[in-house]
Amino acid sequence: MYNVWIVDDEPFILKGLSGIVNWPDLGLVLAGQAENGQDALEQIEAAGAQVDILITDISMPEMDGLTLLEELRRRNPELKAIILSGYNEFEYIKQGMKLGIENYLLKPINLQELRETLIHSVEKLNRARIDRLSQDQVGMLKDNILYRWATGRIGPEQWRLRSEFLGLRLQAPFVAAAIVRAPDREADEAERDELKARIRRSCERFLTLRGAAYLSFLDTSDDTALFLASPSGDADGLAHLTEQLETLGDELRPALGCLPVLALGPLVAGFDRAPDSYRHAHQALEYAMLYPDEPVLVYDRLAGVSGSDYSPTADGDMYARLVLAHDLNRLAKQIEADFEAFSAMERMSPVRLRHGALEMVMQMKKLLKETPTGHPVFQTYHETVGRILGSASLEQLKELVRAMAAAISDALSEREERNPIVRQILQELEAACHKEYSLKTLAQAYRVHPVYLGQLFQKETGQSFSDYLNRLRIDRAIVLMRTTKMKMQEISEAVGYWDAAHFYKHFKKYVGVAPAQYRKMQGGASGAS
């Protein structure tokens, strides 16, 4: 937002302009008003404010508008000025031109002309700001604006202003959105950043060499999103884009070691409807769970796949018997068989497949009716439900169900009474997991050897001390993310991580996604970051 100051010795001009212009809609803030140049200068200096746009009368007592403009230009050379006057005074106009004014408006003021002048002034200020940014910063700004527009997070007027000065528009009769997702693999943050940058560069190089009109951006899932132009909106146009993406996938395969996941939204008439295609492309992307070998997931081909009103169900009694018998091998085979059967059902969709997985874990949870509600297995259950709802692959769904079965089996076979030392330590951790703990300090407090305490803890809980503490802290973090608007750094510190990178690492390890992505998937407290 840029600061505007209005200076005019006619009070009705000040009052009229302040109320009739929608300043925020133009990306502006009305920072102040004054009835002469001297008062304005004193107010600006007292406030320590920067004036970006000055709207000033020329003829005023104490200090005229051109003198005020000269004074303010010394403080901010990029200041934009709009001169007001009751007369078409040629000498004043010449002086104003030398000072680089944006417009010379005669009273009574034409509001449409004033608004257009303000819009152009904002565009110039934006361009100057862009010119000062590095290429990387400009790229990040473009990504942010495109993503906000594609997901409905920016108003029409703000989008119009920003898209014009950043060149974020496709002049094409028809447009379709495409998503390019990297294969899921174990990698640290630096490797992931390099991978997504390489995919994007490859996509842009591929499309540029073929003379295609496009725009690209990285979304919050680190996918490369593309808006692709097409001269026709019929089946031939869609087939051409599909073929382009298939060739792109083949070119990306050697660098990735496998095909990326590609999804294509429907062709829409005009660039202004591109967000609709983007939304449908994301819906098509989910079908990678059912069609992992499909080179391009085309929304128009998948839209009619789902439609039945049922959710698949598993044999709850069989699951109960296998869990009670602690026969996890047979249970894993049964889970595999059930998912195979679900996937082969007619008109199956990713949403219904997730519902089938939920049904499996809900059937097994019934076995915990004798287990105290404070037991960690219930937290694991709630966490697993959240991860199932946000799962992106069939293998992930299988693993979540298998892991839940193992957790319930462990809870059922757990001894009722723990070693008294371990029980006291667990109570202490439950009460204050944010404090600094180590086996060494706890061993001193309970007068046992650290190695023995570690072995005892592992035996009683089935986890190492550090794994148990980290898991407990992450569970607490999940609760805060769901129930508060605390920022991630605040949550990190509240549960015992003073290093945000350490928190990110452990959260990703135990939950499977980054903290911000998890909060978004859960639809948790909004506005926090």
Per-residue pLDDT reduced to its tens digit, 323-374:
877 788 888 888 888 888 887 776 677 877 887 888 788 778 878 876 766 6
Contact 289, 350 (CB under 8 A): yes
400: burial class by Cβ within 10 Å (0-12, 13-18, 19+)?
buried
Binned at pLDDT 50, 70 and 90, residue 313 comes out as low
In terms of Cβ atoms closer than 10 Å to its own Cβ (0-12, 13-18, 19+), residue 93 is: middle
Instruction: Name the DSSP class of 286.
Output: G
pLDDT band at 310 (very low <50, low <70, confident <90, very high): very low
CA–CA separation, 174 and 229 (whole Å): 6
Q: Between the ranges 37-46, 163-172, 253-262, where is the mean pLDDT highest?
A: 37-46
Name 328's Cβ contacts closer than 8 Å, sequence gap at least 6: 322, 402, 405, 406, 409
For 58-171, strand residue ranges (E) read 80-85, 103-106
The DSSP letter of residue 30 is E
Query: Could you report the per-residue pLDDT of 96-128, keeping only the tens digit for each?
Result: 666 678 888 888 888 889 999 998 888 888 777
Rounded to whole angstroms, the Cα distance separating 471 from 527 reads: 26
pTM to 2 decimal places: 0.47
Distances (CA, A) of 170 to 144, 175, 216, 269: 17, 8, 11, 12
